[in-house]
Structure 1
């Protein structure tokens, strides 16, 4: 698996700034982006994939990614979610 820093940088690249580091502060918490990255790491460890929701992603689409920080498409999303 990759480092926490690599995962953080991945999220920073694919999240819209206002939904990631833009939320660090008094309202969401000074370490909001770090905490969000930790939740994502836990999801990767437990389920094998992570998700960036479409309203939060720079693409405007939901982003599914795996433990190697590879963005998943099509059938690979279904497989990651446990489908056949």
Structure 2
């Protein structure tokens, strides 16, 4: 996964906000993953049109911070290894 990769959710995955739990969920066949705020924010941007670099820029603006590249890349690698995203 590098800055030019364009991650997207796998076709079988869907993001949903559970109002009862007030939590963001990643729905997969036979599996539900409760996401933290940053994980949900990253996955919401994974639509296959933005590069990892563009995701990082957007997230740094959204959270008014800098230096997120390593954390975002690490999350996306884990998400890829879990079968949540493809590039």
Shorter-chain TM band: 0.3 to 0.5
Could you say which structure has the higher helix fraction? 1
